Structure 1
Amino acid sequence: LHLADMADVGAVQPHGAHAGEAAAAAVAAGLAVLRPVPVGGPVDLAAISGDELPLLDSDSIGGTGATFDWSWLDGLERPFVLAGGLGPGNVAEAIERVGPWGVDASSGLESAPGVKDLAKVAEFVQRAKAI
């Protein structure tokens, strides 16, 4: 949580053996906790706790660069983070189309598998903030 405070972020995604404890501490500190939700069809978030911020991602496993049909998000009335195939070339369109609380990208910002391209990261952030 110290790093989250230093970076002035609004949400965290705990991982590992102590993820539950970290999530509880994050909520107590006023942070949203991201909960990954694989999307393979129309989305229903009724089962997601109010303390969790859904991270809506393609149902393809792990950084595939695959998007999903954004129309499956039509009618969502709670905040969510959009992921799945986002990069500098489509982040503005994604934000305009679905109005997420935030966006997440991985492979779309890489120059090689596992290697982030700082120019792509900067362009992604610039285009996301321009909306």
Structure 2
Amino acid sequence: MAQVLVVDDDDDIRALVAMQVRRGGHEVVDVGDPVRALALAGDRSFDLAVLDWSMPGMDGGTLCQRLRQLPHLAGLPVLVVTAFTDDATRQRAAECGAASFMAKPFRLGELRERVDGLVATSSGSQSSP
């Protein structure tokens, strides 16, 4: 069972993503504030992060970079989920270290497949024993 961090400032989207990830058999920590998510990640390990792109205080790209700067999360796979589908946003997400990118709105089945695929390819080195 993977530990998945879900960060989205929209309560409804965050709840939907968290529910779908849990249905896939994973444990979820869901947070609405990227600054709080970064603080939580300081002493917790995760196997995957699912991040919204556009959030107040810190965008998903900056959060991705800052999470991956933590030594215990350096290899953390990140899935960016966003309504911004332009090439520039996709490019910036990749430059920030995102492993995958999904456009909103998304199909729930596609989200679960993407999460499961990223968890499966993760080394698992981020998980707590």
TM-score above 0.5, yes or no: no
Whose Rg is larger?
1
- Greater relative contact order (Cα < 8 A, sep 6+): 2
TM-score bracket, shorter-length normalisation: 0.3 to 0.5
